[in-house]
A and B are shown apart, each in its own frame.
Chain A
Amino acid sequence: MFYYSIKIFLVGVFLIFFGGILSLLFWRKQKLSILVGTLGAVSGSILGLIPAIKVLLSGGKESLYIAWSIPFGAFFVEIDAISAFFLLCIFILSIITAIYGSRYLLEYKNKSLAKAIFFFNVLISSMAMVVVSANGMLFLICWEIMSIASFFLVTFEDEHKHVRQAGIVYLIATHIGTAFLLVMFILLGRESNSLDFDKFAAIKLLPSSMASIIFILSLVGFGTKAGLVPFHIWLPEAHPAAPSHVSALMSGVMIKTGIYGIIRVLTFLPNPPLWWGWLLIIVGAVSGVIGVLFALAQHDIKRLLAYHSVENIGIITMGLGLGVVGINSGSQILAILGFGGAILHILNHALFKGLLFLGAGSVVSAAGTREIDELGGLGKNMFVTSVTFLIGAVAICGIPPLNGFISEFLIYTGSFKGLITKQLDLAAVSIIIIGSLALIGGLALACFTKVYGIVFLGEPRSKHAMNVQESSMIMLVPMIILAALCVFIGLFSSITINWLKQCISQIAGIGPDVVSSQILPLSNILIKVSFAAFCLFAAIAILLFIRKKMLSAEKVSIAPTWDCGYAKPDARMQYTASSFAQPLVDTFKMILRTRKITEPIKDLFPVEGQFESSTPEVSRDYLFNPIFRVIYLLLGRLRWLQGGNIQLYILYIALTLIALIIWKLR
């Protein structure tokens, strides 16, 4: 019975991988290839969910240790409550995106789909292995497989130049991140003489400069994958380039493996100093605000969603920071609320960001463009897409009845608890969190009002948006399921938070019983929130009913919404996305540095005018490009080493070897 769960899990991972291999083998028969790949992913993920849910609810650990011939490596996998929680997110979203992808991929005509299915399945299985690996070597191997698989998915449409560029940016970013992780594992291994995670935890590294270096390395290394500012530059490139179901999976769960890494490292380092919490909160606040601001200025719907991932990762990191501050100051409720809010937001973000990317995919496949300003009026023909997208949008903005509100509510509550203590530093931390969360929430609301309003309401702005067709049921059902999950967590939040008890207790290092007792008053508040949400839904239902009753007697005719007294109204007269966002974008022009090309109208009877705006990535232009330029210049001086002559290269090798021998035997 001992290895029972872990074996089910490994069989599930193998099934997913095997499905990918089969789909490669059947690459000639497109339908069959997609079918076996998707079946493998779905069945394997369902199998994998069983041990994940079991461990998440009951706590405890399940592990399997097999020795390995690689130095310091071991096939050591362990499912504890933290892994189980991440497995839950990974497998739920994988099932849904795999089903969606099986239909969505058919949009790519004249392309070999088998490789997309294969790498998709490899991505799922490697993500699952990353969060259960309990050995540094195994972890890094799975981490690299995950990066490579997602790279091939991002570059799926490699015939386009911008896709290839996005792929290169992603590849460079992820490898720089891994370099930091490599150093971090080496340092941890030096401290504990092993690369097994249980040894890392056992040494109880005290707060010291070494612990801090390890923490910083993990924050940079894992933060690159997670998309923390300023290491987020690959996100807005890679997500629009990838197929939509891949963006959903990458944004929904793959970037969360970075957060998993930070959490895991925090469990290795007990007694964190206060400034770690400060650092996490400030990095999180900056990521959140910058992410949502840049999202506001984007014109590409998937690029916009990618920036929202940066924003939400920021919120999660703030939650983690609050938890760290809680541990440091000995305040259990603060730690529980901070970590609890963070991990609930991880789950929530996986659900609603998955939903939004799938919705964007549905829009893109129907209209054939990602430009928000070319869309419009899609809600009339694509009812299900528009309603589910609306649910996702409301959830991501953190508006009450849905799940996004609950997790932000936990972090808010924690911050207010910090505020009412008489400690000055806690109060300062809390004010930063409350302020930035409020700012983020408001800007996110503006951003999604823009997206939803421009894309789904109004009249079509171009011929792309005319005569669109609703997507097929295979694509809609996954979206409906995700929307339903968002509503469920929103309505039954007190139950959900109880399911996460074991996970919170493990991260915070507080016993599960204490967590239960601390959560109890919170549950009571959440029940009231749920009650209010039910009332809201009831009110909406009653209003809809009344409207229907009142209209049933009248004759209903459909007319243009508002033609402003124009004799010949035109769809191009509508409000555009960039004009909607313009006041806010101008307010923050210090940060955004939006470039505008205008040809203003001069005469009374204007003939021609032009306006164009673009918001390039600031940290890429002002931070990374200069750094890389300097590196390029410095390394350019070494170019004479690269003669292109094979004899010269052998000479280098020979001289190095001889020098090493002499140095060692000296």
Chain B
Amino acid sequence: MLIEFMMIFLTLVNLIILSTSRLSTCIKVIAFQGIILGVLPVAGGQFDIQLVIFSIIAISVKAILFPSMLLRTLSQLNIHREKKPYVGYGMSLLIGLGAIVLSWWISKNLPLTITPANSAVLPVSIFTAFVGLYLIITRKMALTQVIGYLIFENGIYMFGVILPQKQPLLVELAVLLDAFVAVFVMGITIFHISREFDHIETDQLSTLRS
């Protein structure tokens, strides 16, 4: 029951990201997503000490560390909104609804060798990955792309949580570390880009090619 609620929350939260232009809202949403994802491994009711430690690490990285780094970058940049994305917010919301349908359809047909603990986790994880990818494709701000990358990563992380017996937690931790390094580097890069060019819009950066 708890897991179902969490999944519904995640879906709604993803839709919020699709329809908002405020960067600070996006970052808060990521923090919220991070909390839900961190709780997810232990939400099934089994209290394994290993899982609890893992859950604490995940929450501290996904819900505290990443958002605070992004907020810090945001405050340095003096930018608050995403400017003119390639696809408008209303349209994004409609596409998001389509993506929900698609991800439920995919998860229904996806042949899995093991049955997941809860049937709602798989479609939501696919949906989250779609949303992340969608943000990377349609938004112009470099910061939004980092956010998209993190959401995409969250989707993959959820997929991994469904199959705990298949995938050792060590691998998950390594992935977490990778994401951490990536966000760290991207944060610094964005800061330097904005200082150098007075904006962080990637479509204008493509003119840098010789």
Contacts and interface: CB of A to CB of B under 8 A. Distances in A.
A653 to B, nearest CB: 9
A654 B206 contact: no
B110 interface: yes
B206 A650 contact: no
A658 B109 CA distance: 14
Interface string B124-161: 00000000010011101000000000000000000000
B109 A651 contact: no
A644 B110 contact: no
Contacts of B48: none
Contacts of A646: 202, 206
A145 to B, nearest CB: 31
Given A644-B206, A647-B86, A647-B202, A654 B133 contact: yes
B110 A665 contact: yes
B198 interface: no
Interface in B78-137: 86, 102, 105-106, 109-110, 133, 136-137
A654 B137 contact: yes
A558 interface: no
A651 B137 contact: yes
A661 interface: yes
Contacts of B105: 665
A658 to B, nearest CB: 8
Which of B86, B110, B133, B137 is the most central at the interface, judged by chain A CB atoms within 10 Å of its CB? B137
A654 B130 CA distance: 9
Interface residues of A, number: 11
A476 to B, nearest CB: 49
Nearest to A658: B102
Given A644-B209, A645-B203, A645-B206, A650 B109 contact: no
Contact of A650 (B102, B106, B136, B203): B136
Contacts of A647: 86, 136-138, 140, 202-203
A651 B203 CA distance: 14
Contacts of B138: 647
Interface string A642-666: 0011110011001000100110010
Q: In the complex, which of the residues A644, A647, A650, A665 has the most CB atoms of chain B within 10 Å of its own CB atom?
A: A647
Nearest to A664: B109
A650 B209 contact: no
Contacts of A661: 106
A662 B130 CA distance: 14
B21 to A, nearest CB: 17
A650 B137 contact: yes
Contacts of B206: 644-646
A651 B135 CA distance: 11
Contacts of A650: 133, 136-137
Contacts of B209: 644
Contacts of B86: 647
A323 B137 CA distance: 61
Interface string A145-172: 0000000000000000000000000000
B129 to A, nearest CB: 10
Nearest to A645: B206
A654 B202 CA distance: 19
A647 B206 CA distance: 11
A661 to B, nearest CB: 6
Nearest to A649: B137
B105 to A, nearest CB: 8
Contacts of B133: 650, 654
A640 to B, nearest CB: 15
A246 B154 CA distance: 54
A644 B105 CA distance: 33
Interface string B189-204: 0000000000000110
Interface in A612-666: 644-647, 650-651, 654, 658, 661-662, 665
Given A650-B133, A650-B137, A654-B137, A665 B106 contact: yes
Nearest to B140: A647
A410 B136 CA distance: 69
Nearest to A657: B133
A650 B202 CA distance: 13
A159 B86 CA distance: 45
Which of B102, B133, B138 has the largest number of chain A CB atoms within 10 A?
Answer: B133
B130 to A, nearest CB: 8
Contacts of B140: 647
Contacts of B109: 665
Q: Which of B102, B110, B203: most chain A CB closer than 10 A?
A: B203
A403 B131 CA distance: 73
Nearest to A655: B137
B52 to A, nearest CB: 35
A647 to B, nearest CB: 5
Contacts of A662: 102, 106
A75 B109 CA distance: 39
7 contacts: A644-B206, A645-B206, A646-B206, A647-B86, A647-B140, A650-B136, A661-B106
Interface of B: 86, 102, 105-106, 109-110, 133, 136-138, 140, 202-203, 206, 209
Given A651-B137, A665-B110, 12 more contacts: A644-B209, A645-B206, A646-B202, A646-B206, A647-B136, A647-B138, A647-B203, A650-B137, A654-B133, A662-B102, A665-B105, A665-B106
Interface of A: 644-647, 650-651, 654, 658, 661-662, 665
Among all A-B residue pairs, the 5 with the closest Cβ atoms: A665-B109, A651-B137, A647-B137, A654-B133, A650-B137
